[in-house]
A = this chain, B = another copy of it.
Amino acid sequence: MHLQPRLHTAEEMGAIYLVYKEWKVFFMSRYSYFSHLQCPQCGLIFSGSEVRQLCGCGSPLLARYDLEALRQVLPRPELEGRETSLWRYHELLPVERPENVVTLGEGMTPLLPLPRLGAAYDLPHLYMKDEGIIPTGSFKARGATVGLSKAKELGVRQFAMPTNGNAGAAWSLYAARAGIRASVVMPVDAPMITRGECAASGADLYLVNGLISDAGRLVAGKIASGGIYDASTLKEPYRIEGKKTMGIEIAEQFGWTLPDVILYPTGGGVGLIGIYKALSELLELGWIEGPLPRLVAVQAAGCAPIVKAWQEGASRSEFWPNSGTAAFGINVPKALGDFLVLEAVYATGGCAVAVEDEALLSEQRLAASLEGAFVCPEGAAAFAAARKLRESGWIRDGERVVVLNTGMGIKYPETIPVNAPVLQPEDALPS
């Protein structure tokens, strides 16, 4: 008998993979409970053992875990004494062998009470999750450590990506540690310091006289020529898994309870999608109880496609023409994952808010002078939104509010005016 070989359909491959995976989960060690990838739009399932980008339907893919099995093994969090990086949650991350982990010690960033700023906003329970205290100085390190660890596990040797600066810096430096070659394209207006980070890492760095959407087109052209991994936001399915750890950490740092509101500066929106995904997984595991915090997507008035969509009750956003803002990281005129951001906002009873550059720059100075928190302009936008939502009454009396500061203010030195007298050694200080 001679069996005619034939190609399996994607559905068949998905089913075969699930059987294999069940066997593997049963017999092998469980550093990770990663199971497979799934398309949130059409439901199709893919193996996570080979390189994947978007689903055939055009949607990003999401990682799924054997949560029921994990629930049996770790019915309640027993994380004390584990390393103080995001890899303490390795069961909920997609890297299957610890030797593939590419780490610079990222995660478990401080969750700080801000009593003085909170008093100014009439928010006595205001907290900042400070993502500046992390390698490369921005939360992009979370996406890079998990994205590149998984890329290494999958045998990736080279990738390309567009960036507004910080993601490119993080991915370049983590790529250097992984021994993977990086090609990065960023707008000429992206923060100067992120150029230096890419250059120091030895990455191939290109500047484009345009926006991140233009950088994206240049990268797409290079990807089309073949052989290079596309590390564009959400075109690879794993950076979101790194970013979701912000949500797990917030829950752990509050003793497995939840705040009422989380405000997140939204460009591509992966962090917000990730936090929602994390909290949903923790609910399913029984590690936390609902209701989930109301998630707020904060944008700049000069680039607010998600806010416009939310105001219209739409499920997707439209390209925002001629976008511009001092909060450069959220200058994203059209996000690939916009529908996932909006879903998270709608599902949690959250909202989307736009703030003017003037308001966010003033909030940046206020946070530094009242709390010593020198936040990035994107983080400052989320503070401005907190003030606005409290003034409008949307945030209610006594609610526990977390603002995500996505990076260090020192990466944007031009946002702070400096007026310092220059003295000669023989002068005296004014009294």
Does A133 belong to the interface (CB within 8 Å)?
Answer: yes
**Contact in complex: A421, B207 (CB < 8 Å):** yes
Contact partners of A373 in chain B: CB under 8 A: 104, 173, 177
Contact partners of A102 in chain B: CB under 8 A: 372
Q: Residues on A close to B: CB < 8 A?
A: 80-81, 84-85, 102-106, 108-112, 116, 130, 132-137, 160, 172-179, 183, 185, 188, 192-193, 195-202, 205-210, 214, 217-219, 221-222, 225, 364-365, 368-374, 408-411, 413, 416-425, 427-429, 431
Give the residue of B133, B172, B425 whose beta carbon is less than 8 angstroms from that of A134: B133
* Bound: A429/B215 CA distance, A: 10
**Contact in complex: A133, B130 (CB < 8 Å):** no
**Contact in complex: A422, B372 (CB < 8 Å):** no
CB-based nearest B residue for A412: B196
Contact partners of A105 in chain B: CB under 8 A: 109-112, 130, 133
Q: A200-B374, A222-B429 are in contact. List 10 more A-B contacts (CB 8 A).
A: A104-B133, A137-B410, A199-B418, A202-B368, A205-B420, A207-B420, A207-B421, A209-B425, A210-B424, A222-B428
Q: What's the least CB distance linking A46 to chain B, in Å?
A: 28
* Bound: A112/B84 CA distance, A: 12
* Bound: A340/B124 CA distance, A: 45
* Bound: A250/B263 CA distance, A: 36
Contact partners of A421 in chain B: CB under 8 A: 206-207
Give the residue of B160, B196, B207, B420 whose beta carbon is less than 8 angstroms from that of A206: B420
Contact partners of A210 in chain B: CB under 8 A: 424-425
**Contact in complex: B428, A218 (CB < 8 Å):** yes
